[in-house]
């Protein structure tokens, strides 16, 4: 099916996937805090998982949203258009798509780091940029695995970004914005998420 004469429906859907999260993310500086009443509805979307736990002062939230929206969206487009060489352990994925996911997630994360630095939410640094590289590499690797084909990569990519990003930014980068307030809300937010899904 063709849309607008030359845009395929799947391509249009992926472009919305990419821009939806990125535009939403651009609006974060307009909000002071996230109210507790918003948490139960926000958790219905994997995209907003980072907002609930880490909000805008943590590089983990940047990594989660950029890897999910920019990384995963660009991976699908590049993989379908140019991905002739398939991965040996998952023939549904290609080298091109996996590489595109890494670069799109990484570049998007660095750009949002610079953007959030303008508002004082994070402090840009080379260390943080390296942390984004490690997190984007982990997200792209997990997305390329067969488990992400069987499950939903909208679940596996944010989960991998959260776990690896949390470790990288908190332990390796010396906190890097993932402070005690962020970590204290994880169990409460997880309880709300799992309670809402039952």
Q: What pLDDT sits at residue 37?
A: 45
Residue 112 lies in a domain: yes
What's the confidence (pLDDT) of residue 158? 86
CB atoms under 10 Å from CB of 182, counted, come to 20
Tens digit of pLDDT for each residue in 51-96? 555 666 789 888 988 998 899 889 988 998 898 999 999 999 999 9
Rounded to the nearest integer, the mean pLDDT of the chain is 75
For residue 41, being part of any structural domain is answered with no
Residue 22 is assigned to a structural domain of this protein: no
- Look at residue 105 in the predicted model and tell me its pLDDT: 96
Give the number of residues written for the chain: 198
29 belongs to a structural domain: no
For the segment 138-161, the average pLDDT, to the nearest whole number, is 87
Token pair for residue 193? 């998420």
Tell me the C-alpha distance between 184 and 120, whole Å: 22
- pLDDT of residue 162 exceeding 60: yes
42 domain-assigned: no
**Does 20 map to a domain?**
no
Q: Is pLDDT above 60 for 156? A: yes
Q: What percent of the chain has pLDDT over 70?
A: 62
Is 2's pLDDT higher than 70?
no
Which pLDDT band, with edges at 50, 70 and 90, does 39 fall under? Answer: very low
Looking at the structure of the chain, the number of domains it has is: 1
Which is more confident, 81 or 44?
81
Nearest Cα neighbor of 126 from 142, 145, 143, 113 is 113
Q: Which domain holds residue 168?
A: 47-197
The tokens for 170 are 């908190």
């Amino acid at each position: 099916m063709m849309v607008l004469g030359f845009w395929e429906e799947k391509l249009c859907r992926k472009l919305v996937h990419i821009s939806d999260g990125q535009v939403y993310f651009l609006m974060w500086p307009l909000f002071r805090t996230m109210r507790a009443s918003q948490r139960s509805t926000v958790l219905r979307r994997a995209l907003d998982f980072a907002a609930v736990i880490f909000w805008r002062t943590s590089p983990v939230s940047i990594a989660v949203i950029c890897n999910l929206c920019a990384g995963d969206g660009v991976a699908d487009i590049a993989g379908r258009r140019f991905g002739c060489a398939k991965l040996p352990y998952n023939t549904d994925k290609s080298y091109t798509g996996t590489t595109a996911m890494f670069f799109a997630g990484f570049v998007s994360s660095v750009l949002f780091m610079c953007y959030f630095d303008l508002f004082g939410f994070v402090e840009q640094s080379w260390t943080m940029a390296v942390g984004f590289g490690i997190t984007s590499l982990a997200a792209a690797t997990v997305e390329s695995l067969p488990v992400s084909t069987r499950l939903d990569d909208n679940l596996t990519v944010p989960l991998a970004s959260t776990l690896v990003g949390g470790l990288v930014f908190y332990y390796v980068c010396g906190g890097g914005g993932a402070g005690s307030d962020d970590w204290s809300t994880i169990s409460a937010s997880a309880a709300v998420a799992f309670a809402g899904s039952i």
